[in-house]
Structures are given as structure tokens and as C-alpha cells.
Structure 1
Amino acid sequence: MKRLAALAAACAVLVGGCGLEAGYKLPFEVSPGSIQPEPSLAGVSIRVGSKNFTEQILLSYIAEVALSAAGADIEDLTNIQGSPAVRQALEAGDIDLYWEYTGTSWINFQQETVPIPDEQQQYDAVKKADLERFGIAWLEYSPVNDKYALATTREFADEHGLKTMSDMVALLEKDPSLGSFCMESEFISRQDGLLGAEQKYGYDVPDGDIKTFGVGAIYATLATGRTCNFGEVFTTDGRILTLDLAVLEDDKKSFPQYNAAVTVRKEYLDRYPAIAEVMEPVSAKLNNEVILELSVKIDGEGQDPAVVARDWLVKEGFVTNPAD
């Protein structure tokens, strides 16, 4: 299938089209906790970016609140559309840091085709390659491992006995009429997305079976059971729980490891090494269960992601809330 043009088009997005001129400060103040004021960061303007889905926005607010407690002057540039655009913004110096995933960098930025199954080895390889090729430094990776997955409704999975992606392929080979998919354009064209899964499972999804949506719309659309039987999801997204979706096991391991880590230009980190001292203990405290719980507060309960980020940091003792 000729889908790579979609990725090329995404890469052509100009940084100015990402809304990067519209940065703003956090809507509240925080005080130090275990994160203490860092003289080298006092008054330093740090522009924090993110991609345009819940987990990314949440992680970026966690970074913003933590660095604010250390004394930095934060500029919020979250919600940039697409991995290529936010990465371009980092390389160009339009943002100073954002959270990236090891698998995304390995497949899309390093142009590797074979993922490394071990988390640590995948991180080590990405860290080395990104520094040597692009001057991008990776802080220590988090236990958060946000993999791609395909999901369906609990009712559809039970009706057809679906537990794995191999089960799905067997079903669709038997009854192609059931093959309707909701996906976003970036996933369709990525080697670590649909392209790689098709190769691993030996099944090409016909273009006519794919309906394209934004990431956020896929979950609600999939849950109705009317528009598509299968949809692209992230394994740490809280809507999997709130909508009771059934995630299909990637039994042939087509999707790479996606451990999250803060990425920053090396020259910027060399100027402000305290960024790592602030962020790495925070990163180590995060895991998939935490992200799922916090995502439910945002997507299920409608809470402000900045407030959710602050309250988690307060709970863990990293910062304190002056209002308390």
C-alpha cells in the first residue's frame, strides 16, 4: 500500500503552523517539595512541547510543574500535531524539551526497520544514535511503556473469541466483511504502526476498510460499535478502562517498545544540566498504572491535565501547593 506519502506530508508541516507562537505560562503557582529551587534554573525560560494526545500533554505538564518548582520560567507549547512536527520544533530550537518514545525515535527518526525487544537495549541504542546523528540527548527512560495496540469492543471480542491480533487476522481471512478499522493518519503510514503490523502478521488491510480519525476521536467512535470493529489505541490510555475496550494482544510482537523519556538538545542540556537532576526522579516514579489512573481523571472525569499533573506531583511530594 502506498501510504508513506502521508508521513512525508506530515514531515513537511512548518513549525509556524503548529501554533508555537501561542505559548503561555502555567495558570497556577507551585512551591518546592523534594524538588528544591535550583539556582542555575532561576528565571531560565524553558519551552516545553508535546504531541497532541492526552498522555503527551499530561507528561509535559508534569515536566512544566516540576521545572517551575525548581525556579524555571515555563512556556507551555503543548499540543503540537504529529511526531514529525514536534521533533522538528525541538531540533530547530522552537521548543527546548519534550517527552519522546524509544520506539518512535528508533523507527521514524533513526529509520531503523527492526525494533529491539529489550527495553534497556532499545533505549541505549536510541540514546546513542540520536546523540550522534542529531545532537539530541535522552534523559533516563521511564517505566511508562505506551505501546500501540489494536482494540475492539468487549462485546465484539467475546462474540468472536478474540484475544490476540492473530485471532483478528484469522477472523478477517474467514469473513473480510468484518474488517473495518478506525485509525489516525500517522499510524497508518508508520513502520512501527500499521505497516509493520501488516508485514509481521501477513495481512494487508485494504484501504477501503480504513476510516481516518484524530487520535482522540477513535476511542469514542470505536466504543459505539457502529463505525468500525477495530481501532488503534495506546496501551496506557485511560479510555480503554472507561469505555471497557478489549485490547488485542500483539502476540507476534510487531509493535516496538515505547518507553517515554524527556528529550532535549545536547547543547541546551549542557547549559542547564540541572534539568536532568529535576526530571529523572520524577520520570522514575511514573509507570503505566499511574498514567492510566491520571488519564482517566482527564478523559473520563474531564479534569484539567495541568491540575492533574500538579496534584500527582503534590501527592508524591515533589512539589507543594501554596493553596494548601
Structure 2
Amino acid sequence: MRRLRGVAASLLVAVAVSGCGLVSSSGTFHDATLPGGERPLDDAGLVVTSKSFTEGVLLGKITATYLAAAGADVTDLTGAPGSASSRQAQLNGDADILWEYTGTGWVNYHGQTETISDPTELWQRVHDIELQENDLVWLPPANFNDTYAFAASAETAQRLGVSTLSDVARLPESERTFCVDDEFYSRADGFVPMLEAYDMPLGAPNGVPSQNVTRMDAGVVYTSTARSAPCNFGMVYTTDGRVKNLDLTVLEDDRDFFLPYSGTVVVRREIIEQYPQIADLMAVISQRLTDELMQELNGRVDIDGEDPADVAYDWLRSEQLVE
């Protein structure tokens, strides 16, 4: 569902990490310095890893570039295949810094089923479990939430007068048409329970007729939603670059059904205690990252075909964070 264009650069770091077989698929980032030449991490050696989908790689490249600009000797292991390998590398102590998502930590890593709609509360719960059980420090989250949502074309949203999922529930049945992928359709926290939460159960009277739901590949959902055919509403990820590129209107989850997936920097406890300045440096980054910005940056890679390392460096320069 999420694609990563390979990074072409002069030096590839191929590092096999003991215990998990992690190998860098990119390993390069741009040289830069902090404004004024400050080097608060001058004696630090850090290993930055990431998952292999576009957003994960971008966040990893931003982190590697910025911390190296701050003076750290950074080993770039971004683009690790699958989420398990980067996570395991950090648990093993073979990687130091990784961007994660609060929903992923809560559900996937700790098997929790309680839906906590408040993003701050969810972050705190995950933070406490991870610190106690894994000696991992989840720094305060960024201002973006890469969660599930439903969207419509801007024209359709205006025609139907909808801005929330509750608005969809008030539409005539004939207008309640949805495109979803198989994975989301079958999730315990996915499509069917979402319809129930909004009082329009699948196949029930005054709900959503089964024939109003089209299951398709996740990538096709975006273009089908943009065309409003065969559906008015499609499942999307809130920070996906196609949301902006296709001029989709994301509907508000006004009953807080979907779990927050706030992007968060995770650092090994040993590292953050040795270099506490990492927290302040990454806070500068996290505070700037919004849903709209991530849509733009992701789109530059997935749609425009730009190199993630270039996009990361360009953004840092545009924010005057590096030079």
C-alpha cells in the first residue's frame, strides 16, 4: 500500500544487525550543519532506523540529517524491510532511534484492545508500558496522526454537504457508498464496527446495503474516491500524499472511533540518558510536522518520484533548521 522509491547515492551502508538480520536498504543522507555551527551532539554515535514505507523513510531521513547536523556520527539504517526488523533492532540495542506510531505500540506491540480516543492519553499509556517493559522512551508525539479515515472528492463533499462521518449517516441510503480494501473491511477495529458506531450497520434496515460497498486494492480506493465512482466515500490514511494530490476532503471522525496513530520518536533509554539533548532537538522537528505537511512530503516521493533523502534535506533547509 505504501511505496518507497530506492535512494540512489554515492555510499551505501550495508550493515547486518545481529539477531534480526537488519540490512540498510538506503543508508545515505545529506551533509548539513546547524545554523551557527552548533554541535550539541559532537561526541554521540547514533544508529537511526525506520520502517520501509515512504513516511517511515522520510522521518528517518529527517532525523538522520538533523542529528548529524548537530554533530552526531549517524549510521543510517532507514528503510528496514518490515516493521518487525526495525523494532527488533531497537529492542536488541542495535538501533537507537526509530519513529513509531502510538496506535501501533498499543495494539500491535502490546495487544491492547481498549480504544483510547484521546491522543495524549494514548501516548502516555504507551510511553509508560514501553519504558517499564523495554527501556524505550517515547518522546512527546508530533503534530500529525497517520490514522484511518474516510474521504470524498471535494466536489462530492460539497454536493452532499458532508464534513463528518455523522453527516454521512444522515444521507439517503443511495448516497452511502463506500470503497474499502479487504484488510480494513475485515479488521476488528475497521469498517463494519465503524458503521455500527455511526448507527448505519452493514446490511441492516436504514444502514448501509451490502451492495453499496466495493472492496478493492488499497491503491485503487484513492482514485475511485476522487472519481466518486463506484463510491462517494473511500478509506484513506490521513497523511497519504494522494489525499492532497487528488484534492480529497477527509471527513472528521466526530465520534472518535479510530485509534490515534500519532507519530512519535522512540529512543533507547540508555541513549536518551547519555544524550538528553536529543529530546530538545527532536521536539523542534515534531512540533512542525502536521497532517498537511506529511501529505505534501509523502506526495513528493510517491507521486513526484523524488528521493526521500532530498525531500528531507530540502524541508529542513526550508525551515532554516540546517544549512
Q: TM-score range by the shorter chain?
A: 0.7 to 0.9
Which region of structure 1 is more displaced relative to structure 2, 304-313 or 233-242? 233-242
TM-score, length-normalised on structure 1? 0.74
Q: Of 238, 242, 245, which aligns to 1:239?
A: 242
Q: Of 194, 197, 200, which aligns to 1:197?
A: 194
Q: Which amino acid aligns with 2:240?
A: D
Which region of structure 1 is more displaced relative to structure 2, 292-301 or 147-156? 292-301
> What is the CA distance between 1:280 and its match in structure 2?
2.4
Question: Is the Cα–Cα contact under 8 Å of residues 244 and 296 in structure 2 kept in the other structure?
Answer: no
User: CA–CA distance in 1 between the matches of 2:97 and 2:241?
Assistant: 25
Q: Of 297, 308, 312, which aligns to 1:309?
A: 312
SS at match of 1:26: coil
Q: Is residue 2:68 matched to residue 1:68?
A: yes
1:1-324 counterparts in 2 under 5 A? 20-33=22-35, 36=39, 38-41=41-44, 44-52=45-53, 54-69=54-69, 70-78=71-79, 80-81=81-82, 86-93=86-93, 95-169=95-169, 171=171, 174-175=173-174, 179-183=177-181, 185=183, 187-188=184-185, 190-194=187-191, 197-202=194-199, 203-204=201-202, 209=213, 211-214=215-218, 218-226=221-229, 228-320=231-323
Q: Which amino acid aligns with 1:127?
A: H
Question: Is the Cα–Cα contact under 8 Å of residues 97 and 266 in structure 2 kept in the other structure?
Answer: yes
Question: Is the Cα–Cα contact under 8 Å of residues 49 and 95 in structure 1 kept in the other structure?
Answer: no
Deviation track 1:148-172 (CA, whole Å, cap 9, x = no partner) reads 2111223444454443323434558
User: CA–CA distance in 2 between the matches of 1:265 and 1:232?
Assistant: 34
User: CA–CA distance in 2 between the matches of 1:158 and 1:19?
Assistant: 50
User: CA–CA distance in 2 between the matches of 1:250 and 1:79?
Assistant: 32
Distance change >3 Å, CA 30–CA 245, structure 1 → 2: same
Distance change >3 Å, CA 50–CA 266, structure 1 → 2: same
SS at match of 2:144: coil
Aligned residues: 297
Q: Which amino acid aligns with 1:245?
A: L
The alignment yields a C-alpha RMSD, in angstroms, of: 3.5
Higher helix content, 1 or 2: 1
TM-score, length-normalised on structure 2? 0.75
> What is the CA distance between 1:137 and its match in structure 2?
1.4
User: CA–CA distance in 2 between the matches of 1:316 and 1:79?
Assistant: 27
Which region of structure 1 is more displaced relative to structure 2, 202-211 or 91-100? 202-211
Q: Which amino acid aligns with 1:251?
A: D
Distance change >3 Å, CA 58–CA 217, structure 1 → 2: farther
User: CA–CA distance in 1 between the matches of 2:169 and 2:284?
Assistant: 42
Give structure 1 stretches of 5+ with no counterpart. Answer: 1-14
User: CA–CA distance in 1 between the matches of 2:93 and 2:223?
Assistant: 36
